[in-house]
């Protein structure tokens, strides 16, 4: 999480260097594993374990809509879809047979298209090889949430696609582990009205420009609603964290808004009754945590699959996206104000809030999700026995 995006390829180089060590481990393992579950970075793993007679399951931490947008394995491996420029990724792929707005904006994908590839293997090839070399696909999603995408994925891959559920957060024991930090945060939240607070957290990888941070801060100030905003501790020798915020911002919002630098227990915050909405970067893990507690989503995608997630979530009417310029991603404080107020208190946003609350029965139901996990494990056992 501390590696800037432009250096992320070096993580893949380091990861690829584990191939020989993993090979040696598997060759001498006793007993031999029945299954190996792996993700897209391990594109070299399927042929390795196939020689050892070990079954292979590709585990996608992305939802079905995102994976379907990427395309079939053969397309990913060959590049036959002809998507070369950022504009090419702003169009719904030809293999999606139903009406959809799940596609990127130019500003969300341009750095991936124009970026370097020091690892020597593109992410498209990694995904394609991992999918193509697997015996089945495990998905961290609920079929009921995106049935049309799940069905399409099964058709595109032409092999079993199995849901493991969303693996929702578990609060048991977390409060003790989080200690004083959570006690302090909870003390502030306890003073707020039920469903009144906007929780703002853009993940550990996203970095806002100074202009973006200013507009977001002014939007939160001008919306007039209580908010709890988590910011990463900014780098630099000064150690003065407040220099990133507009002058006088913290004083002007004192009592109504809290800005916290560094890590916080996100799940515990989202579970608190004072939280009404979640202004999120739309990472799938954060989305799952927000909907598990029925929080309406205010969508602000920054990188990776987040733009596709934002389109999916707005289409499912569980969130509202902050309008941004398609080309450069710029936005205004006014657009933040309008979107936050619409999602949190606007009369027109009540149906979206209601839809988000209903998601607790899907994303937050432990028994339902445990059943998904049990079924997926049973599927692995069944296929291993039949082989």
Across residues 277-301, what is the average pLDDT? 97
pLDDT of 259-274, one tens digit each? 998 888 999 999 999 9
If asked whether residues 80 and 222 sit together in one domain, one would say no
Whether 74 and 128 have beta carbons less than 8 Å apart is answered as yes
| Domain total of the chain | 2
If asked whether residues 95 and 72 sit together in one domain, one would say yes
What does the alpha-carbon distance between residue 42 and residue 57 come to, in Å, rounded to a whole number?
12
Compute φ and ψ for 127, nearest 5 degrees. -60, -50
For residue 209, what are the domain limits? 174-363
pLDDT of 13-52, one tens digit each? 999 999 999 999 999 999 999 999 999 999 999 999 999 9
Summary mean pLDDT of the chain: 90
pTM confidence score: 0.93
If asked whether residues 330 and 181 sit together in one domain, one would say yes
Task: Give the range among 166-180, 233-247, 282-296 with minimum mean pLDDT.
Answer: 233-247
If asked whether residues 216 and 247 sit together in one domain, one would say yes
Across residues 316-345, what is the average pLDDT? 97
If asked whether residues 247 and 163 sit together in one domain, one would say no
Query: Both tokens of residue 200?
Result: 């703002």
What CATH number does the domain containing 96 carry?
3.40.50.2000
Classify burial at 203, counting beta carbons within 10 Å of its beta carbon; exposed 0-12, middle 13-18, buried 19 or more: buried
Whether 278 and 298 have beta carbons less than 8 Å apart is answered as yes
Beta strands 319-321 and 275-280, pairing class: unpaired
The answer to whether residue 245 scores a pLDDT higher than 70 is yes
CA distances from 327 to 108, 185, 205 (A): 9, 37, 21
**Identity of the highest mean pLDDT range in 84-93, 115-124, 198-207:** 84-93
Percent of the chain with pLDDT over 90: 73
pLDDT of the residue at 110: 87
If asked whether residues 204 and 161 sit together in one domain, one would say no
If asked whether residues 210 and 140 sit together in one domain, one would say no
If asked whether residues 14 and 82 sit together in one domain, one would say yes
pLDDT of 183-206, one tens digit each? 889 999 999 999 999 999 998 777
If asked whether residues 138 and 266 sit together in one domain, one would say no
If asked whether residues 298 and 378 sit together in one domain, one would say no
Half-sphere exposure of 21 (CA within 13 A, CB side): 5
If asked whether residues 39 and 106 sit together in one domain, one would say yes
If asked whether residues 48 and 118 sit together in one domain, one would say yes
């Amino acid at each position: 999480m501390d590696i800037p995006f432009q250096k992320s390829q070096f993580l893949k180089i380091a990861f690829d260097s584990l191939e020989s060590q993993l090979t040696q481990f598997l060759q001498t393992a006793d007993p031999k594993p029945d299954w190996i579950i792996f993700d897209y970075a391990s594109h070299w793993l399927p042929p390795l374990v196939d020689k050892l007679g070990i079954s292979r399951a590709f585990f996608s931490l992305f939802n079905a809509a995102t994976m379907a947008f990427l395309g079939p394995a053969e397309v990913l491996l060959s590049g036959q879809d002809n998507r070369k420029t950022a504009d090419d990724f702003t169009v719904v792929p030809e293999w999606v047979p139903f009406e959809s707005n799940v596609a990127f904006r130019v500003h969300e994908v341009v750095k991936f298209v124009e970026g370097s590839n020091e690892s020597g293997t593109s992410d498209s090839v990694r995904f394609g090889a991992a999918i193509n070399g697997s015996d089945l696909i495990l998905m961290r999603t609920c079929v009921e949430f995106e049935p049309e995408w799940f069905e399409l994925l099964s058709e595109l891959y032409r092999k079993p696609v199995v849901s493991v559920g969303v693996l929702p957060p578990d609060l048991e024991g977390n409060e003790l582990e989080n200690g004083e930090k959570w006690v302090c945060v909870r003390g502030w939240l306890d003073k707020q009205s039920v469903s009144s607070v906007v929780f703002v957290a853009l993940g550990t990888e996203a970095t806002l420009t100074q202009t973006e941070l200013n507009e977001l801060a002014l939007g939160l100030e001008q919306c007039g609603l209580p908010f709890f905003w988590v910011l990463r501790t900014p780098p630099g020798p000064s150690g003065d964290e407040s220099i990133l915020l507009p002058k006088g911002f913290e004083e002007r919002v004192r009592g109504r808004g809290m800005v916290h630098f560094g890590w916080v227990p996100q799940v515990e915050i989202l579970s608190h009754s004072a939280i009404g909405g979640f202004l999120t970067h739309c990472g799938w893990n954060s989305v799952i945590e927000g909907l598990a507690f029925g929080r309406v989503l205010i969508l602000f995608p920054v990188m990776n699959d987040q733009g596709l997630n934002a389109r999916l979530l707005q289409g499912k009417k569980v969130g509202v996206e902050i309008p941004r310029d398609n080309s450069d991603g710029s936005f205004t404080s006014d657009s933040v104000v309008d979107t936050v107020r619409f999602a949190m208190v606007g009369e027109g946003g009540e149906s979206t809030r209601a839809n988000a609350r209903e998601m607790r029965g899907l994303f937050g139901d432990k028994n339902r999700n445990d059943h998904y996990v049990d079924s997926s494990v049973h599927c692995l056992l069944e296929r291993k026995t039949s082989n």
